[in-house]
Amino acid sequence: MISLSWNVRGLGNPREFTALWRLLKKHSLDIVFLFETKTKESRANNINMLLGFSGGFHMDCVGKSGGLMLLWKDSVEVMILLCSSGHTDARVKLDDGFNWHFFGFYGDPVASKRKNLWTLLRRLRRIDDLLWLCGGDFNELLSQSEKVGGSDKSFTCMIQFRQAVEDCNLIDLGFSGPSLTWNNKRDGRLNIQERLDKFLADNQSRDRFLDIRVDHLGFNTSDYRPILLVCSTVTHVHQGPSRAFCFEPFWLKDADFGKFIDVAWKETCLSLSVLALRRKLELCASTLGAWSRRKFGSIRRQIETKNREINRLYKCCGKPGVMTNISQLERAIEGLLECEEIFWKQRSRADWLQAGDRNSKFFHTKATARKKKNSIDCLVDAAGCSHITEEGMAQTVKDYFSSVFQSSSPSGQDIERATAEIKTRLCDDSSMGLSLAFTADDVRSALFSMSPTKAPSPDGFQAILFKKCWGSIGREVSRG
Residues 6+ apart with CB under 8 A from 288: 245, 247, 251, 261, 264
pLDDT digits (tens, 9 = 90+) for 247-301: 777 777 777 777 777 776 766 555 555 666 777 777 777 777 777 776 666 666 7
Q: How confident is the model at residue 351 (pLDDT cuts 50, 70, 90)?
A: very low
355 has pLDDT over 90: no
Q: Check: CB of residue 406 under 8 Å from CB of residue 267.
A: no
163 or 317, higher pLDDT: 163
Phi and psi, residue 113, nearest 5°: -80, -20
pLDDT of residue 130: 87
SS3 61: coil
pLDDT of residue 134: 92
Residue from 150, 24, 134 nearest 89 by CA: 134
pLDDT of residue 272: 53
Q: Check: CB of residue 44 under 8 Å from CB of residue 16.
A: no
Rounded Cα gap, residues 220 and 9, in angstroms: 11
Q: Check: CB of residue 113 under 8 Å from CB of residue 144.
A: no
Q: Check: CB of residue 139 under 8 Å from CB of residue 196.
A: yes
- According to DSSP, the residues that pair with 212 across neighbouring strands are 231
Phi-psi region of 174 (alpha: psi -120 to 50; beta: other; left: phi over 0): left
Q: Check: CB of residue 51 under 8 Å from CB of residue 18.
A: no
pLDDT digits (tens, 9 = 90+) for 46-62: 888 888 888 999 888 88
262: number of CA atoms within 13 Å, CB side?
7
pLDDT digits (tens, 9 = 90+) for 130-171: 899 999 999 999 999 899 999 888 899 999 999 999 999 888
42 or 34, higher pLDDT: 34
Mean pLDDT of the chain: 79
pLDDT of residue 352: 43
Q: How confident is the model at residue 456 (pLDDT cuts 50, 70, 90)?
A: low
375 or 434, higher pLDDT: 434
pLDDT of residue 270: 52
Q: Which helix (H) or strand (E) holds 228?
A: strand 227-232
pLDDT of residue 362: 46
Alpha helices in 133-181 (DSSP H): 155-167
SS3 136: strand
Angle at 151 between CA 149 and CA 153, to 5 degrees: 105
Taking residues 339-364, report their average pLDDT. 50
Rounded Cα gap, residues 466 and 39, in angstroms: 71
Angle at 127 between CA 122 and CA 132, to 5 degrees: 70
Rounded Cα gap, residues 389 and 38, in angstroms: 38
DSSP 8-class letter at 130: S
Rounded Cα gap, residues 278 and 284, in angstroms: 10
pTM: 0.54
pLDDT of residue 354: 45
Taking residues 170-194, report their average pLDDT. 88
Q: How confident is the model at residue 344 (pLDDT cuts 50, 70, 90)?
A: low
Residue from 78, 36, 76, 75 nearest 57 by CA: 78
pLDDT of residue 295: 65
From 113-117, 163-167, 358-362, 458-462, the region with the lowest mean pLDDT: 358-362
Rounded Cα gap, residues 73 and 28, in angstroms: 10
pLDDT of residue 269: 54
Residues 6+ apart with CB under 8 A from 345: 352, 353, 363, 453
Measured between its terminal Cα atoms, the distance across the chain in Å is 54
Taking residues 333-340, report their average pLDDT. 71
SS3 236: coil
Taking residues 81-104, report their average pLDDT. 88
Which domains, and CATH codes, for the chain? 2-232 (3.60.10.10), 249-373 (no CATH), 376-405 (no CATH)
Phi and psi, residue 331, nearest 5°: -65, -40
> What DSSP letter does each residue of 9-29 carry, written as one string?
S-SSSHHHHHHHHHHHHHHT-
Percentage above 70 pLDDT, the chain? 83
Count the Cβ atoms, other than its own, within 10 Å of residue 439: 10
Phi and psi, residue 251, nearest 5°: -60, -30
> What DSSP letter does each residue of 47-83 carry, written as one string?
HHHHHT-SEEEEE--BTTB--EEEEE-TTEEEEEEEE
pLDDT of residue 42: 81
195 has pLDDT over 90: yes
Q: How confident is the model at residue 237 (pLDDT cuts 50, 70, 90)?
A: very low
Q: Where are the beta strands (DSSP E) in 73-123?
A: 76-84, 87-94, 99-106
Helices (H) then strands (E): counts for the chain: 16, 17
